[in-house]
C-alpha cells in the first residue's frame, strides 16, 4: 500500500474515532521513511518511531497482541481454518472487555468509562442458517448463549496461553544489570556500520564510557568512534568492564545505534 493510500485509510479507520496519536511505531519500509509520510507526521505533530533492526522488542506490544488474537481464533475456527475472518469482531470484543494487568482495567473501560455488557449480540448469517427450523426468538437466544460460551472459552484459552508464554520466556532471564554514568562497558559492534573492511575482532576493543542512563534498559555512550554518532544501546548488548567482560550470551546480542537522533543497526 502506498503511503498516501495508507494515510487515507488511517484517517477513516483510526483518526476519526480516536484523533491523531502522539507517536507511530513502524518498521523502516520505504513508505514510512519516505518524504510524504515523514512530512505528514511532522505537520500533525506525530513522533515517528522507527523500529530497530535485530531488536524485535522495539515493537513488542503489537507482536504480543497478535499472539493473543491467534490464541482466541484457534479456539473457535473450524477444522479447515477458513472462517477466521468471521470471528475477528468477537475476538476484538473479548480482548477489549478483558482486564489488562498493566492498567488494572479493561481497554473498553479505559476509553469509555464503563464496562461493556456481556454478552454483546453479534448476529451473523452463519447462525441464521444453523437454526432455520426455529423461531427468530429461539435463534436469538441460542446465538447469545453460544456467544457467551465461546467468549468464556476463548478468554480461558488466552489466559492459559499467557501463563505458558510468560513461564517459557522467563526460564533463562535474569534481572538487568544496573549501570551508572561513568561506568566502562564493552559493546558488540558486529552489526554497527564501520569504514573498516573487516570487523572480525572489533568487539574486543569496543570499550566505552556511559554518559547518560536513559532508563534501566537503555544507556547512552559518550565516546563512539565517530563524533556524528550518539550511542544508545540496550543493556543486553553491553557488559561491564572486567576480566570476564563478555559472555557468550552477550556475544549473540546486537546493539542499537542512534544516528542523528534515530535508532539504526
Q: To the nearest 5 percent, what fractions of the chain are helix, strand and coil?
A: 45, 15, 40
In terms of average pLDDT, the best of 17-21, 122-126, 214-218 is: 17-21
Q: 186: part of which helix (H) or strand (E)? A: strand 184-187
For residue 9, name the pLDDT band (cuts at 50, 70, 90).
very high
Give the predicted TM-score (pTM) of the model. Answer: 0.45
Q: What is the DSSP letter of 58?
A: G
Per-residue pLDDT for 265 more than 50?
Answer: no
Q: Please report which confidence band the pLDDT of residue 192 belongs to, taking 50, 70 and 90 as the band edges.
A: low
Q: In this structure, what are the phi and psi dihedrals at residue 235, rounded to the nearest 5 degrees? A: -70, -15
Domain-wise residue ranges, the chain: 3-50, 61-169, 184-264
pLDDT band at residue 22 using 50, 70 and 90 as cut-offs: very high
Q: What is the pLDDT of residue 54?
A: 65
**23-65, pLDDT tens digit by residue?**
988 888 888 888 899 999 999 999 988 877 666 666 677 777 7
Q: What is the pLDDT of residue 225?
A: 53
User: What residues contact 121, with CB distance under 8 A and at least 6 apart?
Assistant: 140, 143, 144, 147
Q: Is the pLDDT of residue 262 over 70?
A: no
- pLDDT tens by residue, 139-162: 777 777 776 776 676 667 667 767
pLDDT-based confidence at 195, cuts 50/70/90?
A: low
Closest CA to 123 of 135, 139, 138: 139
Please name which of 48, 28, 29 lies closest in space to residue 40, comparing C-alpha atoms: 48
DSSP sequence for 191-249: TS--SSS--TTGGGG-EEEEEEEEETTEEEES--SSTTEEEEEEGGGEEESSTT---HH
Higher pLDDT, 173 or 118: 173
Strands 257-259 vs 229-234: parallel, antiparallel or unpaired: antiparallel
pLDDT at 240: 54
Category of 194 on φ-ψ map: left (φ > 0), alpha (ψ -120 to 50) or beta = beta
List the one residue out of 126, 119, 117, 115 whose CA is nearest residue 141. 119
Assign 3-class secondary structure to 70-110. HHHHHHHCCCCCCCHHHHHHHHHHHHHHCCECCCCECHHHH
The pLDDT value given to residue 200: 58
CA distance 58 to 27: 10
Q: Which of 73-77, 97-101, 176-180, 258-262 has the lowest mean pLDDT?
A: 258-262
List, for residues 223-240, the tens digit of each pLDDT value: 665 432 333 444 444 455
Amino acid at each position: 500500500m502506498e503511503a498516501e493510500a495508507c494515510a487515507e485509510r488511517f484517517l477513516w479507520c483510526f483518526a476519526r474515532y480516536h484523533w491523531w496519536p502522539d507517536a507511530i511505531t513502524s518498521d523502516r519500509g520505504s513508505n514510512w521513511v519516505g518524504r510524504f509520510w515523514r512530512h505528514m507526521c511532522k505537520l500533525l505533530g506525530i513522533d515517528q518511531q522507527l523500529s530497530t533492526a535485530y531488536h524485535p522488542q522495539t515493537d513488542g506490544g503489537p507482536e504480543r497482541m497478535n499472539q493473543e488474537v491467534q490464541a482466541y481464533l484457534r479456539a473457535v475456527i473450524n477444522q479447515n481454518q477458513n472462517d477466521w475472518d468471521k470471528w475477528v469482531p468477537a475476538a476484538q470484543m473479548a480482548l477489549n472487555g478483558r482486564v489488562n494487568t498493566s492498567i488494572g482495567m479493561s481497554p473498553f473501560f479505559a476509553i469509555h468509562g464503563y464496562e461493556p455488557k456481556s454478552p454483546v449480540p453479534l448476529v451473523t448469517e452463519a447462525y441464521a442458517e444453523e437454526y432455520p427450523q426455529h423461531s427468530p426468538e429461539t435463534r436469538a437466544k441460542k446465538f447469545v448463549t453460544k456467544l457467551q460460551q465461546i467468549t468464556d472459552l476463548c478468554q480461558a484459552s488466552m489466559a492459559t496461553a499467557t501463563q505458558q508464554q510468560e513461564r517459557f520466556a522467563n526460564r533463562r532471564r535474569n534481572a538487568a544489570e544496573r549501570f551508572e554514568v561513568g561506568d566502562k562497558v564493552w559493546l558488540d559492534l558486529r552489526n554497527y556500520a564501520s569504514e573498516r573492511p573487516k570487523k572480525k575482532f572489533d568487539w574486543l576493543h569496543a570499550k566505552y564510557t556511559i554518559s547518560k542512563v536513559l532508563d534501566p534498559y537503555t544507556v547512552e555512550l559518550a565516546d563512539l568512534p565517530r563524533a556524528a554518532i550518539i550511542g544508545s544501546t540496550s543493556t543486553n548488548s553491553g557488559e561491564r568492564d572486567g576480566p570476564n567482560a563478555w559472555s557468550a550470551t552477550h556475544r549473540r546480542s546486537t546493539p542499537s545505534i542512534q544516528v542523528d537522533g534515530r535508532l539504526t543497526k
